Amino acid sequence: MTTQFGAPARFGSGLLAEEMVAALGAQPGVQKVPSAKLTLFVRRAFLSRDECAGLVARIDAHRRPSTISDPNGDAAFRTSATCDLDAGDALVAAVDARIASFTGLDPAYGEPMQGQRYAVGQEFKGHTDYFEPNGVDYLRFCSVAGNRTWTVMIYLNEPEAGGATRFKAVDKIVQPETGKLLAWNNRRTDGTLNPSTLHQGMKVRAGVKYVITKWFRERPWG
Ligand SMILES: O=C(O)CCC(=O)C(=O)O
Ligand SMILES: [Fe+2]
């Protein structure tokens, strides 16, 4: 595999943080959010409007209520709907390949892509995407592929109000914009889990919000 940025193709599971930062930062149109606590990149218009519309249609066709790991007693913690996207679908496969090429992450380390849909009033309260090593669900979700390393998330549309993604620890709020990609390292440069990745999908106030999420792991997924 070669990458859009022409560097050696693979950074494996994403644990080589400096290489990823250099490669992602060198890509056209990529902004790195200035923070010493969190490695977060933003790339506007990563997907076209047509690609986003195609993914929205697939999410609407197969969505189910979202779930969380390590249930915390708050039934309203994550109120959205989730869709497991079919890796055999040509559009999903093309987007998957473009994410791998863009990040330099080995596609073998990626979980199957998911879609998320938030109607008015729905949200995903503050959380980290990695699994808590001491949590009750750790072995269930992490025994084969290990914990999550990088998160890639793409907004597929723009709700009329609300639905921003907030990174509270670094005081950053990202507004949904059709095709805009976010990518962040769930770890610090030394590989330890980074609590400053704490983020929330804020309540949609008007309209509907759709995103796709793609998580990468420490070891190959399947
Ligand atoms: O919808 C958002 O803005 C955030 C989604 C998210 O954090 C997740 O699915 O893990
Ligand atoms: Fe998240």
Query: Residue ranges of the domains in the chain?
Result: 17-217
Nearest alpha carbon, ligand 1 atom 3? 201
Burial category of 74 from C-beta neighbours within 10 Å (exposed 0-12, middle 13-18, buried 19 and up)? exposed
Please say if the pLDDT value at position 38 is more than 70. Answer: yes
Please say if the pLDDT value at position 153 is more than 70. Answer: yes
Test site for ligand 1: of 56, 78, 153, 174, most ligand atoms within 8 A of the Cβ: 153
- Give the rounded distance of the alpha carbon of 87 from its chain centre: 16
For the residues 139-168, what does the mean pLDDT come to? Answer: 96
Pocket of ligand 1 (CB under 6 A): 116, 124, 129, 165, 199, 201, 211, 213
Structure letter (DSSP) for residue 125: E
Q: Whose structure tokens read 């595999």?
A: 1
Give the helix/strand (H/E) hosting 25. helix 17-25
Q: Rounded to whole angstroms, how far apart are CA atoms 81 and 90? A: 23
Q: Which numbered atom of ligand 1 lies nearest the CA of 174?
A: 3
Superfamily of domain 17-217: q2cbj1_9rhob like domain (2.60.120.620)
Q: Which numbered atom of ligand 1 lies nearest the CA of 116?
A: 9
**Residues, the chain, total?**
222
Decide: 116 and 163 in contact? Cβ < 8 Å: no
ipTM above 0.95, yes or no: yes
The Å distance, Cα 105 to ligand 2 centre, comes to 19
At 154-212, the pLDDT tens digits run 999 999 999 999 999 999 999 999 999 999 999 998 889 999 999 999 999 999 999 99
Alpha-carbon dihedral angle through residues 87, 140, 191, 46, given to the nearest 10 degrees:
20
The Å distance, Cα 199 to ligand 2 centre, comes to 6
